[in-house]
Structure formats: C-alpha cells, structure tokens
Structure 1
Amino acid sequence: MHKQRFRFKLSTIIIFFVCLVVLISLMITDLLISNSVSENIRKNQEEKALIVARTVSKSHIVINALEEGQTSSAIQDYTKEIQTATNVLFIVVMDMNGIRLSHPNEEMIGKSFVGGDEKAALKGKEYVSISRGTLGESVRGFTPIYNGKNEQIGVAAVGISLSSLETALGRSHKNIIIVTILGLLIGTVGAILLARYIKKILLGLEPFAISRILEERSTMLQSVHEGIIAVDHTSTITLVNKSASQIFKRAGLSQKPVGMKIYDYMPSTRLDHVLKTGQPELDEEQTINGVSILVNRVPLIVNGEVVGAISTFRDKTEVNQLAEQLTGVRTYAEALRAQSHEFMNRLHVISGMVQLKSYNQLAAFIRTLVDYRDQEFGSITQHIKDPALAGFIMGKLSYAREAKVDLSIECTSIIPEPAANKTTHELITILGNLIDNAIEAMADSEDKTIEVNFSYKDKWLTVEVFDSGPGISKEQQAEIFKKGFSTKGKNRGYGLYLVTKSIIDLGGELDIDSKLLLGTNFYIKIPYEAKEVGK
C-alpha cells in the first residue's frame, strides 16, 4: 500500500521560513546591539566616574584641605553638592594614607577606604575598577590629587552603583525586544502577502501538485512514440523528447539542441514561421539531412498571445509501413467482400439449377466456373511473382465483376518480385487508384472495359491502364493530379494525387492520353529492381 506523505501548504512553508529568517536575523541583531549598547553604557558610566573624579581633584577646596592635613566640612559639603548634581553613588576624597575626608555617610569620615582597589591610585595612577565597599558593589573611578608643586596629596574616588548600570542596560534591552517583536510581526504579515501572491501566480497549485504535474508531463512527453520539439517566443528550443532525439540522431544532428535557436539547429524547419503567423501547419512533409518526416506545427497561445510553438512529427518510413499494412488489410477486405458477393450469386444459380433438377446444366456450369477461375488466377500467378501484387489484382478482378466491368490483365513478360517492399506498396497505390477511378468513371457508360498491361524489361516496369470511359478534357488533364481537385464533390480528389506522388517517389514517369467519349490511357514507367532468387 502506498504510504501518503505529509505535505505542508505553500503558504505555511513561506510563512514559516520567512518568520524563521526574520527571527534569526533579529535575534542576531539583538545580540550584537545589546552587546554594543551594554559596552557603550558601561564605558559612559566609567568615563562619567573619571570625569567627576577629575573635577573633584582640581577643586581648590579639596586641594587646600588636603595640604592642611585636616578634615573640613567644606570638602564634605562640596562633594555632596557634586554627588547630587551628577547622581553618582558616592564621592570620596582620601589622603595619602587612604583615610576618608568625605563620604555620603558622615560616620565613615576619618576611616580607611574600603575595597582594596585604591592602592594603585595612591601611587599616582588614574583608572576605573569594580569593587564592593560600604555602599555595595559599584564602578569606581580613581584620580590622583596634586598640589601646586605637582606633588600627590590624595585621591578622589567616585562610585556609580552597578544596580543603576543594570537598570540602564535593562531599559535598552527592553527597547530592543520591542523592536524585535515589531519586526517579527511585520515579517509575518509580509510573508502572508508574499505567499498569497506566489500562489496566485501558480494558479492556486501547491508545490507537491506542481511537482507531480511536471513529473507526469515529462513522463508523457518521453513515452509518446511521436517526436516532439518545442520553442519559446524567441525561437529558442526548450524541449526535445526521446523519440525526437532518435530521429535527429539518424539525421546526424546534435543530441543536445535545448537552448539553441531552432533555425540554427534545423534550417529546414518552419516553426519560426508558425511563431510569426500564429497559424498551424498540419500534415506537412519535411526532410532533415535525407530523413523524411511528417510534421504538425502548432502555435502555443496564452491569453491571446503567441508564447511559443510545438512540433510533433514521425519518421515517414514508419508511416509508410503503417499505410502498407492498412492498404493490405483494406485490399484483402475488399477482395473478400467482392468474392463473397460473387460466390453468393453463383450459389443462387446453383441452388436454382438443383431445384429445377437441371443436373447436366449444373455440371457444365460448375466445370465452366472452375476452368475460368483456374485459367484467370493461374495466368496471374504464373506471370506476377509478387504474392501481394497478385492477390491485390485477384481482388480487383472480383470487385470489377461485381461492378459489371470487364477487367482484363495482360502480361507480355514475367513480372518478378521486387527487391524492395516499398515498390509493391507504391504499385498497389498506383493501380488501386487508377482502377477504382476508371470503374467509377464508367458508371454511366454502356461499354465498361478496363485493360491493364504489364511489361518488364531491363529493370524497368511499364504499366498501361486503359478504360473505355467518357475521357478527360484537356483543361481537366492539367488539374486532375493536384491535391483536392475533383469534379465529384467535396472531400475528394486525392486518388490521382497519390498516384503521381507514388510515381515520383519511385523515380518513374507518368503520361496520359485521353479523348472525350473515346476513353483514357495512363502510361506508367518505373525503375524495378528484381529480388534475387533465394533471398
């Protein structure tokens, strides 16, 4: 049992992947921006701590108090004012022994600085550190304090609470998350609109349906026996199926024509003409490097505009083989029908003689039939060695008798079996159409006679077909061999066209001699290669 695979809709796939791409992009952006913003905020806070520390270190109030070596309420008041203005956690001024001269908590004044990160500052270095003191963990900026003689007399320390730093970072990250969610919503809406637009272009088909249709189309095109070649509106070849490749291979053409211009690949084509006119060309014959094909060319029209053209074709040799088979079946059927009708008429005669008990006359009638049939058929098989041609002529004899036409077959020499089956096929086409036309032409004539004479000499076969019909006028003689010309109505006029076509294909000659009310004579001469005995 075939297991049904679970398939997602096109809209679902597009929305999922677009949202995924947007989400990943925004997450990466969020990560990069968050790191960058965090680093900038941290640096800003560190620079703020140093700037405030430098400001304090330059204050004359602070410098004078340190030089005197005494605590001063002026330093405490000054640092509190600066602390309030700059919104920092603390501002501490200490002497060279690390003793605080100012502190947000006045009880801590006079005590040693806590944290252990002040030692480098007491040695004249300016820097930023993170440490925990009496007010908690903070970012600390240390700046040495110098007197007028450029001697270090103390250190200014400014602290900014890490909790305030984290608060600033949190606000920044929150804004980034809001932007990320907004971008995701916009991406989702865009994905839905894109999915609808694409599906509209694809005529509502889902990807798996398109894939299945393409697979089925490819399988059908490759499996058909006819050759198929298609071009787009620029005459560029877009498709060649397997059968077409095989025919092109026999014609010596390239096996990779896709992408080439049709007139460069196959100059004898008329597909480019079909593209220009938009008109189909059906049942046309085309020759490709000596290979004859029968072609149908049709334009591809979408919304009233020609977007390409397609040609289907088949090797004419195969078509001829099919025609031979069809002709043989039709001839055999006609012969059986005519002989069956003739046989029933004779059975009626025999039945009447039996009922009348005319046994002597019955015996004589049967002997006459047997002798006549043996003489007629024996003469044909004795002179015409091609079984197919001989059988065809026997069938025509029965058909002529049924139409009350006197058909006689004369052979001035032995007609050997031809080396090529094509010769037999074309001969049957020639004789069949000439005899049928003659029988039909004599429908209203009193004298209904057809004479067919065969002669073979020096690899040439000569056939003369005479009928006692009404004849053909000079004007009509110039038109009767054209395709579709007929004086008998529509959908007629193909018999003599096929006769001339077969004679041309065999490389033969045709001549006509006809006079009104005196009958018509057709003279055919064709090259005839005899089949070697034993082959």
Structure 2
Amino acid sequence: MQRSAPRPPLRFSTQTLLLQVAVVLLVVLLSAAVHAWLTYDRVGSEAENQALTLARTVASDPSVRADVQAISAREGTPPAAELAAGPLMQAAEAARTRTGALFVVITDETGLRLAHPEPERLGEKVSTDPSEALAGREVTTRNTGTLGPSAGAKVPVYAPGSSAVVGEVSVGYSMETVGQSVARDIGPVAGTAAGALLAGVLGSFLLRRRLQRLTLGLEPEEISTLVHDQVAVLQGVDDGVIGVSADGRISVFNAAAQRLLDLPDLTGGRWEDAPVPDQVKSLTRPGTAGSDALEVVAGGRVLVANARKALHRREDLGWVVMLRDRTELQELTRQLDAVGTMSTALRAQRHEFANQLHTLAGFMSIGQHRQAREYLAQLAATGPLTFPVEQAELLQDPYLQAFVGAKGVEAEERGVALRIGPETLVRGQVTEAQDVTTVLGNLIDNAVNAAVAGAATERWVEVEVLDEPRDDGGTLHIVVADSGDGLAEGTDAEQVFTEGFTTASGPLSMNLSRNLARNGRAGGQGFGLALARQLARRRGGDVSVLDRGRQGGPGAVFMATLPHTTAGSAEAPGSLGTPGSLGTAESVGAPDTSGTARSDTAPRSAEMKGDNNDG
C-alpha cells in the first residue's frame, strides 16, 4: 500500500494567524463566561432580595401571625384539607400569584407546612432546613426543593405582640426564571463578543498579510539562513560593500569597507553625512545611471568604486556600492614596468658590452695589441656600463639606488634625463621601502610626465633626498623638480592633490572604462599625487608644492616628508661608479655626462627653491 506524501508544515504566517485567532477566541469566550457568571450571580442575588422582601411582607401580616400562632397552640396538626381551605393557604397563594414566585410556604414552629403550592404536601416537613429561621434569623438560600432549584429566603414568624417565634415563611423564585433573565441580559454581550471575535480575526488576517509583505513571503528559517549567508558573504569578501537604503540611510557597511576607507562602522547613519569621498557619494545621486566605475583615493589606497540600483519586484530598495582595492595592482604594475625597463636596459648594455668584446677580440686576432690597449684605456676613462642617472652615487642606500636607476631608464626612454641633486645625502637605510618608493615613484612619474609635456628643449627631472636621523626612526625629505611648464595659470596648489588631476594635462576624467581604453591596463592617471600625500600624512608627514614653476620651465617643485622611514646608516654604501651600481654612462643612448652635462637652462631644485624664496 502506497503511503500518501506527508503534509507540508503550515507556513509561519498561517501558524501566527491561527494562534492569534485562538487567543482572540479564548479571550472572548473567557470574557463572555465571566460576564455571564457575574450576570447570573447578580440576577440570583436580585431574586434572593425579592424573596426576602416578600417573605418579610407575608411574615409581618397580623392575620398570618395570628393564624400561625393559633395553629401552633393546637394539639396536633390540622388535616391537609382544613389547611388547604384555611386563611394561611389563601394568603400564601395570593402573594405567590401576585409576585410570580415559585413558592410561598408557611410552617409552624416545628417546620410542618401550613401553606404550600401543592396541597398534598400540607402537614409535611419542609424539604429544606428551617432551623435558622425558627431560631429568629433571616436567611437567603439557593437550593433545590420539591419544586426544583430556587433562589429564596426564610423569615421567622413572630407571635402577635411577642418576640416568640411561632413559625417561618419561606419564599423562592425559580432558577429557570433567573436563567431566562440571564439569557435576556447576555444577548447583547454575546453580540459584542461575536463582533470582538470577528474584529480580532480580521486584525489577525491583516497582520498576517503585513508580516508576509515585510518578510517578502519568507519563512523564519529562510530568513535565518539568509542572514547567516549574508553575514558570511559580506564579512568574507575582500571587496567593500556599502548598502544605502531608499530613505538614504546606510544599511550595510562591511568590515572590508571599514578597512578600505579607514572608517568605523557607519551602519544606521545618513549616507549624505557620512565621511565618505564625494566621488563615491556621487554614484548614488539622482540621475546617475550607476554603470560607470570611478577610481578614488581614500585611506591611503587607490579604490575602484561602482554602484548598482537595488530593485525587488519593482520596489526601490536603494543602492549597493562596491569598493575594490587597486593599490597592490598598481604597485605590481609599476614594479613590473620598472623590471621590464631594467631588463631592456640590461639587454642593451649586454649587447654593447658584447660589441666591445668583439672589438677587442678583433684587435687581438690581427695582432693590433697597441690599438687594443688604447681601446681598453678609452673604456676605462669613460667608466663602466651603468644606468643613466647623474650623480646617483650620492644615494648610499642600495634600495634607493636600484629604484632610482630603474626610474632613470624609464625617463631616458621618454627623452628625459633623471639626475640626483648635489645636496642629496642619505646615510641611513630605508626601512619602509613600500611607502618610500610609492611616494618617490609617484613624484618622479609626475615630474617626467610634466617634463615630456613641457616646452623646454632639454627635458630633465632632478631629485634631492636628505635623511634626518632620529632615535625613533629617521625622516626622509624628498624634493623633486622638472623642466616642465609648471602649474597652469589659475590652478590652486592644493588642486593638484585631488583625484583625477595631473600636472601634465590638467584635470582628467576618472571614468575607469575610459582609463582602461586609454592606458590598456588597470588604473588611470591623476591619482599619484593624491595617493602620495595620503601615504605621507598617514605616517605623520606631508607632500606639498614648494614652487609653482613657470611657462617654458623650470616646472613645479614638490617636497615630501616621510617620518620614521630610515634607520641607522648604510653599512656599505655603494658607489654608483662601481659595476652594477647607478651612475652615468654612454649606454642606452644616454648623453655624454663626463663634461658639462647640465646646461644653464636646467637649474637644480635647490637653486629653484632659492629663486622661489627670492621672488
């Protein structure tokens, strides 16, 4: 026999609805029951009071008192027929008929019935205890007698002109009549209860609909799973995720976003008031398509930011802003470019060295030993094959030597001569190579771009580096000058440190897609100076403009201060005149620098600083 498939569990909203309906029904029923019981008790008490009043009236009748005394004084009990025709029976029935009571019973001092609605019960003992009334006390009772359940009262009958009890009067009203009165009174209550129940059910149904709408029709287990998945995804990715609700509040600000922007958790705050770069905020402003990506500098990092509109069933849920760190990618790209440039230079030097060896071998093979010696002397006089950086021997740190050498090769390929200023003095060793090379590399790249774009015929970039030893780590002071045209007229000196600005061509678009198309690789222009300044300031230093430069050259002069970046002094400062170090050379098309390699039209940065101070 094939078993039927188990019933799926009720949805949470349905369970909630049923529970609410059950609670409302229970409350209504309990309220109705309490009200009915109170009404029943009130009507019963009213019946007891009516019975007590009627019993007092009958017991105080002088004729009743006299007749009861007369019968009590007789020997034995009169026959039932005599009692049925007697005045007591007539008085009791008249009172019962007039008031609608269930019974009016009169007894003698022993509890024998002298008047009763059923004549055949006359002369018999009453079915309920008359002792309280015969003892002279009035009582109200609810009990069941020969005529059924009743609410009544018992009152003693006193002898005329005496306080002696000679009998008692018992009056009762049927509880069925009380129930009918309760039923009449409970009708409006039942209607009210039914209305309350209907209102409760309707409210529960509306609440169920709202609950379904707020939870998007999801069950609590599904919501719990989604929350766990959301936390795992948002906190487990390296990309920053910022959620902005439709009312402009930050609903999500994951740990990666806090790390990339160097900000605390901003969840719950206003998006427009958040200390987030304005370029990122502009992605979510009205009229923004949200498809373009921007490069921004924040927290000492180069970030790519884009935003997407979040919709659910055509409902606007707000924006999702994504942040990706491109700092490491740009650093790797810069290093790869430097390595490629150095490899090209080394291949050229290897080719030239091979030609020199072939020349020597040719002299030796034809027996021209004197010419060979003269050729060797000429090679010794011109120096070894080195990188095209003038006075690079002033840099004693090997790391700076290699880095500046690579930059010199790059600059030479673009027709720019890179040289070290005469006031350069670096005695310590660089301890924070990444930050130093990032700042120095960006300043040199910016200067080379400006020199290439400038109008001067002789293109050059001059770098001066000075370390200031301290116990807690030395400070590097870097000054970079170029032969470019300086800052454009009307350009504020602080404007060059904003994202998307380059001294080579002015403000650039920061649209990532256009950058990719123009450069053929990740990253755009106009972020080097902004990144350099943020890195320097994060270390307690700064990058600033010392001189704006002038049209036709020399160009602008930039200065960077990097605290806590050097330590001690170089143990074996390498001279760039030794093989494998940086220096001047004839290789790779470098101009002859043995003589007056520097013209008067290319002043050093120190001289430019002096001119700036004079002017």
Q: By how many angstroms is 1:418 displaced?
A: 3.6
Alignment check: 8 A CA contact 2:159 2:166 kept: yes
TM-score (norm 2): 0.57
Question: Which residue among 369, 386, 389 is the counterpart of 1:376?
Answer: 386
Residue among 570, 579, 598 paired with 1:533 = 570
The verdict on how the C-alpha distance between 1:465 and 1:149 changes in structure 2, with shifts beyond 3 A counting, is closer
Aligned residues: 488
Asked whether the equivalents of residues 500 and 510 of structure 1 are also in contact (C-alpha less than 8 Å), the reply is: no
1:494 is the counterpart of 2:496:
no
1:440-464 deviation digits (Å, cap 9, x = unpaired): 547xx9x665475768698887867
Q: SS at the partner of 2:127?
A: coil
Equivalent pair of 1:418/1:424 in contact (CA under 8 Å): no
Of 117, 125, 130 in structure 2, the residue corresponding to residue 113 of structure 1 is 125
Q: Mapping of 1:137-286 within 5 angstroms? A: 138-151=150-163, 152-161=165-174, 180-200=193-213, 207-216=220-229, 218=231, 222=235, 283=296
Residue 341 to residue 439, structure 1, CA distance change in 2 (3 Å): farther
Give the deviation of 1:80 after TM superposition.
Answer: 2.2
- Equivalent residue in structure 1 for 2:138, among 103, 126, 139: 126
Of 20, 35, 38, which residue of structure 2 is paired with 1:36?
Answer: 38
Find the aligned partners of 2:385 and 2:318 in 1 and give their Cα distance.
64
Partner of 1:390: 401
CA–CA distance in structure 2, aligned partners of residues 158 and 462 of structure 1 = 119
- AA matched with 1:491: L
Does the Cα contact within 8 Å between 1:146 and 1:153 map onto a contact in 2? yes
- 1:426 alignment partner, one of 421, 435, 439: 439
Task: Determine if contact 1:122/1:144 at 8 Å carries over to the other structure.
Answer: yes
Q: 1:295 to 1:312 in 2, by over 3 A?
A: farther
- In structure 2, do the counterparts of structure 1 residues 129 and 388 end up closer, same or farther at CA, with 3 Å as the change threshold? same
| Cα deviations by residue, 1:66-96 (Å, 9 ceiling, x for unpaired) | 3543745333233223223333332222233
Q: Which residue of 2 aligns with 1:77?
A: 90
In structure 2, what is the equivalent of residue 329 of structure 1? Answer: 336
Partner of 2:602: none
Distance 1:84 1:257, change over 3 A: same
Q: How far 1:143 moved relative to its partner?
A: 1.7
Structure 2 Cα separation of the partners of residues 229 and 311 of structure 1: 5
Displacement of 1:191: 1.0
Deviation at 1:189, TM superposition (A): 1.4
What is the CA-CA distance between 1:375 and the residue it aligns to?
2.0
Residue 145 of structure 1 deviates from its aligned partner by: 2.1
Q: Secondary structure at the match of 2:386?
A: helix
1:47 and 2:49 are equivalent in the alignment: yes
Q: Deviations over 1:420-473 (max 9, x none)?
A: 43333322222233234334547xx9x665475768698887867665xxx638
User: Contact (CA 8 Å) 2:416, 2:448: kept in 1 or not?
Assistant: no
Q: CA deviation at 1:118?
A: 1.9
Q: Give 1:34 shift.
A: 3.5
The offset of 1:301, in angstroms, is 11
Q: 2:339 corresponds to which letter in structure 1?
A: Y
| 1:481/1:497 contact within 8 Å kept | no
The separation in 2 between residues aligned to 1:270 and 1:498, in whole angstroms, is 13
Instruction: Assess, with a 3 A threshold, how the Cα gap between structure 1 residues 374 and 475 changes in structure 2: closer, same or farther.
Output: same
CA distance in structure 1 between the partners assigned to 2:491 and 2:102 by the alignment: 121
Supply the distance in 1 between the matched residues of 2:143 and 2:349 (Cα, whole angstroms).
Answer: 129
Comparing 432-441 with 170-179, which one deviates more in the overlay? Answer: 170-179
**Over residues 337-357 of structure 1, what are the superposed CA-to-partner deviations in whole Å (9 max), with x where a residue is unaligned?**
x5499699989x99xxx9xxx
Equivalent pair of 2:388/2:417 in contact (CA under 8 Å): no
Distance 1:174 1:435 in 2: 98
Structure 2 vs 1, CA of residues 508 and 489 (structure 1 numbering), >3 Å: closer, same or farther?
A: closer
Q: Is the 8 A contact 2:486 2:549 kept in 1?
A: no
Bigger drift between 323-332 and 52-61 goes to 323-332
Match of 2:115, SS? coil
Give 3-state SS (helix, strand or coil) of 1:92's partner: strand
For the 8 Å contact 1:278–1:299, the answer to whether it is kept is: no
Q: Return closer, same or farther for 1:207/1:103 CA change in 2, 3 Å cut-off.
A: same
1:3 maps to what in 2?
Answer: none
Secondary structure at the residue paired with 1:85? Answer: helix
How many Å separate the matches in 2 of 1:117 and 1:474?
121
Q: 1:144 to 1:461 in 2, by over 3 A?
A: closer
Residues 503, 509 of structure 1: 8 Å contact kept: no
| Distance in 1 separating the partners of 2:102 and 2:491 | 121
Report how far residue 330 of structure 1 moved: 3.7
Tell me the secondary structure at the aligned position of residue 375 of structure 1: coil
- Amino acid in structure 2 at the alignment position of 1:57: A
Report Cα offsets for 1:115-159 as digits up to 9, x if no partner: 251233233232234566554565553222234413544322224
Asked if the contact 2:446/2:504 (under 8 Å) is kept, the reply is: no
Aligned to 1:89: 102
**Percent of aligned positions that are identical:** 19
Q: Kindly tell me: are residues 73 and 488 of structure 1, through their superposed partners in 2, closer, same or farther at Cα, counting changes over 3 Å?
A: same
Contact 1:481 1:500 in 2 (8 A): no
How far the C-alpha of 1:300 sits from its partner, in A, is 13
Distance 2:507 2:420 in 1: 35
1:410–1:242 distance in 2 versus 1, CA, 3 Å = closer
Larger relative contact order (Cα-Cα within 8 Å, sequence gap ≥ 6): 2
SS in structure 2 opposite 1:42? helix
**Superposition deviation, residue 192 in structure 1:** 0.7
Where structure 2 has 5 or more consecutive residues not aligned to the other structure, the ranges are 1-7, 72-77, 289-293, 312-316, 366-371, 470-475, 510-524, 573-615
1:202-222 Cα offsets, whole Å, 9 max, x none, are 555555555555555555565
1:66 matched residue in structure 2 = 68
State TM-score, norm by structure 1: 0.64
Secondary structure of the residue aligned to 1:44 is helix
Contact kept, 8 Å, 2:502 with 2:508, in 1: the verdict is no
Q: Superposed, which structure 2 residues align to 1:4-15 within 5 Å? A: 9=11, 11-15=13-17
Instruction: Provide the C-alpha distance between the structure 1 equivalents of 2:560 and 2:545, rounded to a whole number of angstroms.
Output: 6
Relative distance call for 1:340 and 1:436 in structure 2 (3 A) is farther
For 1:266-291, what per-residue CA distance to the aligned partner results, in whole angstroms no more than 9, with x for missing partners?
Answer: 9x9999xx89x9799994768xxxxx
Distance 1:360 1:211 in 2: 84
Partner of 1:289: none
Q: Is the 8 A contact 2:301 2:531 kept in 1?
A: no
Distance in structure 1 (CA, Å) of the matches to 2:181 and 2:49: 15
**Residue in 1 that maps onto 2:521:** none
Structure 1 gaps, min length 5: 1-5, 287-291
Distance 1:414 1:374, change over 3 A: farther
Residue by residue over 1:241-277, the C-alpha shift from the partner in whole angstroms, topping out at 9 and shown as x without a partner, is 66788899x99xxx99999999x9x9x9999xx89x9
1: CA distance, partners of 2:243 / 2:91: 93
